[in-house]
Chain A
Amino acid sequence: MALLETKGLTAHYGDFQALFGVDIRLEQGETVAIIGANGAGKTTLMRAITGVLRGQADQIRHKGTAIGHLMPDTIMKRGVVMVPEGRKLFPSLTVEENLLIGGQHKGGRDLGDRIDSFLSRFTGAPDPMALAAGHDGTGLWTLDTIYEIFPVLKERRNNPGTALSGGQQQMVAIGRALMSNPEILLCDEISLGLAPVVIRDIYAALPRIREGGTSVIVVEQDIGQALKVADRVYCMMEGRVTLEGRPEDISRDDIHAAYFGAKA
């Protein structure tokens, strides 16, 4: 059983269909990269997995459980956490508060969940506590360990998150997601708009994240970076997976064909 799996995943924005039967899977401990041009459906896939875009329950399975119909907060409490495209820090919060908020709702045992869990016995709605069980949110990542991998954040802990440079903001966004000790970390375009040297610094944290027991999906437009870090690669085009393989097994031509839809 795969850790995370999509089967025939479709997604729509109103009348517009963005995904046409996408099958991907992520095994325990793996790092998978999803590459593709703008509009290929990569971000839509991330939005579907995290519940921002909800669809049919059984098109997405996490450890065998259908999660396609669940709310984003329940999916997060199961340990599937995203670093959103564009970083999306909370401007009203300081760097440290941005980090803390990532860890404050893990585990799914807050009062609202308890009440909803109780009510679900009568309404037949999904029980959020049962769905979040099995992931307690403890592990390697605390404020201290995040400041260890990104020391610059400690110096700037009391600044507003949005006062930081793009690369530092990306570190906050990654740290915020790690604070819940996710089982699966989804990174959506984390190198977008950053200088190569900054991208290298950010990707330097990846081995440590994997050591912490987290499996990772990175969505990248930077093919070189994706091939370097990933165990397996999926290439998407126009809402479909056009190529799947290990970086060492796929050629430049394969990628070119899958990425642009034509031979070089």
Chain B
Amino acid sequence: MIWIDTIVQGVLLGGLYALFAAGLSLVFGIMRLVNLAHGDLIVMAAYLILVVVSVLGLNPFVAAVIAAPIMFVFGWILQKGVLNRTLGEDILPPLLVTFGLSVVIQNALLEGFSADSQRISMGPLETASVSAGPVTVGLLPLLTFASAILVIVGLNWIFYRTSIGRAYRATSDDPVTASLMGIRPDRVFASAMGLALIVVTIAALYLGTRSNFDPYVGPARLIYAFEAVIIGGLGSLWGTLAGGVIIGVAQTVGASINPEWQILAGHVAFLVVLLIRPRGLFPRAVD
């Protein structure tokens, strides 16, 4: 029976990893941009939520609602002002620029908030749990997983059911022809980065409430996000959720065998999937 519990906890942990990864997957899927600063952007959003919580004394969920539009605008300006200039045939410039951005964000956060580790308090919600038979799960992990599902359903709805989603897909296929249809690709990309940073804000809410964070934890989160995206197949959002769940389950199973194996088991699962399906579980048809 303990196995069921382990797996359920792993699945719920996978929800957190899927949230870390969804923004990364979105940005890669639309503009083929590998954002090495993604983890640091999550940490940045966590600090933003922390500031709103401590200055205005608000509930973290309300604080995230305030932080999200700020992050959207930041993403818009970042894409329009910096990242659009790096996109092109060569994949190296965006990698270098986002790597640099990662360093800049870490140092700016260090300057502003010091290296002390921080946490966003949720009050009694942190320890609340629900029981179903042999399994007892925390309310916060459950909320995290539900948020991951909602984010992916929402992004899929935007992608396949709205006119802006149509513009995203068309621009991703062929920016020059899209511009002949009245679309301005740099704007489409800017709004996609803004949207990705709204997802980042949701990820940051759970990052900040479930564990401690300091200015340097971004890259470690980025690794899990990358693994989830690659396991799932580049550009597939449901695949990203599956990837997150696989890493989460591998980690909790590994930890239940030997606590030292938690992180290792996640990476091993990633390598095994890569060996069997090098293009991921659900690769997009056109790539």
- Please state if A93 and B180 are interface contacts (CB–CB under 8 Å): no
CA of A106 to CA of B181 in the docked complex: distance in angstroms? Answer: 8
Contacts of A106 in B (CB 8 A): 182
CB proximity to B under 8 Å, residues A83-103: 84, 88, 90-93, 97, 100-102
CA of A104 to CA of B169 in the docked complex: distance in angstroms? Answer: 14
- Please state if B181 and A92 are interface contacts (CB–CB under 8 Å): no
CA of A102 to CA of B180 in the docked complex: distance in angstroms? Answer: 9
CB proximity to B under 8 Å, residues A239-261: none
Contacts of A92 in B (CB 8 A): 169-170, 172-173, 286
CA of A112 to CA of B194 in the docked complex: distance in angstroms? Answer: 14
CB proximity to B under 8 Å, residues A39-76: 50-52, 71-73, 76
Contacts of A102 in B (CB 8 A): 181
Q: A92-B173, A93-B170 are in contact. Are A112 and B187 (CB under 8 A)?
A: yes
B183 interfacial contact with A, CB 8 Å:
yes
CA of A91 to CA of B286 in the docked complex: distance in angstroms? Answer: 8
Contacts of B182 in A (CB 8 A): 73, 76-77, 104-106, 108, 180
In whole Å, how far is B31's beta carbon from the nearest beta carbon of chain A? 14
- Please state if B169 and A90 are interface contacts (CB–CB under 8 Å): yes
- Please state if A176 and B176 are interface contacts (CB–CB under 8 Å): no
Contacts of A77 in B (CB 8 A): 182
Q: Give which listed residue, B163, B170, B180, B183, contacts A81 with CB less than 8 A.
A: B180
In whole Å, how far is A52's beta carbon from the nearest beta carbon of chain B? 6
Contacts of A26 in B (CB 8 A): none
A82 interfacial contact with B, CB 8 Å:
yes
Q: A91-B286, A112-B187 are in contact. Are A104 and B179 (CB under 8 A)?
A: no
Contacts of A104 in B (CB 8 A): 163, 166-167, 181-182
- Chain A contributes a number of interface residues (CB within 8 A of B) equal to 27
- Chain B contributes a number of interface residues (CB within 8 A of A) equal to 19
CA of A87 to CA of B177 in the docked complex: distance in angstroms? Answer: 10
CA of A100 to CA of B178 in the docked complex: distance in angstroms? Answer: 12
CA of A101 to CA of B166 in the docked complex: distance in angstroms? Answer: 7
Q: A52-B176, A88-B174, A112-B187 are in contact. Are A105 and B181 (CB under 8 A)?
A: yes
Q: A90-B169, A92-B286 are in contact. Are A73 and B183 (CB under 8 A)?
A: yes
Q: A88-B174, A104-B163 are in contact. Are A72 and B169 (CB under 8 A)?
A: no
In whole Å, how far is B160's beta carbon from the nearest beta carbon of chain A? 9
B184 interfacial contact with A, CB 8 Å:
yes
CA of A122 to CA of B26 in the docked complex: distance in angstroms? Answer: 34
CA of A132 to CA of B284 in the docked complex: distance in angstroms? Answer: 37
Contacts of B167 in A (CB 8 A): 101, 104-105
- Please state if B177 and A88 are interface contacts (CB–CB under 8 Å): yes
In whole Å, how far is A196's beta carbon from the nearest beta carbon of chain B? 27
Contacts of A105 in B (CB 8 A): 167, 181-183
CA of A72 to CA of B184 in the docked complex: distance in angstroms? Answer: 8
CA of A50 to CA of B178 in the docked complex: distance in angstroms? Answer: 12
CA of A243 to CA of B279 in the docked complex: distance in angstroms? Answer: 54
CB proximity to A under 8 Å, residues B154-172: 163, 166-167, 169-170, 172
Contacts of A76 in B (CB 8 A): 179-182
Q: Give which listed residue, B166, B180, B184, B187, contacts A82 with CB less than 8 A.
A: B180
- Please state if A100 and B173 are interface contacts (CB–CB under 8 Å): no
In whole Å, how far is A44's beta carbon from the nearest beta carbon of chain B? 14
Additional 15 contacts, C-beta under 8 A, given A73-B184, A101-B178, A104-B182: A72-B179, A73-B182, A73-B183, A76-B179, A76-B182, A84-B180, A88-B177, A90-B174, A90-B178, A91-B173, A93-B173, A97-B166, A101-B163, A104-B163, A176-B181
Q: Can you list the 9 inter-chain pairs with the closest CB atoms, starting with the nearest?
A: A105-B182, A72-B179, A92-B169, A88-B177, A76-B182, A90-B173, A90-B170, A112-B187, A73-B182
Interface residues of A (CB under 8 A from B): 50-52, 71-73, 76-77, 81-82, 84, 88, 90-93, 97, 100-102, 104-106, 108, 112, 176, 180
Sample (24) of A-B pairs whose CB atoms are under 8 Å apart: A50-B180, A52-B179, A73-B179, A76-B179, A77-B182, A82-B180, A88-B174, A90-B169, A90-B170, A90-B173, A91-B173, A92-B170, A92-B173, A92-B286, A93-B169, A97-B169, A101-B163, A101-B166, A101-B170, A104-B163, A105-B167, A105-B182, A105-B183, A108-B182
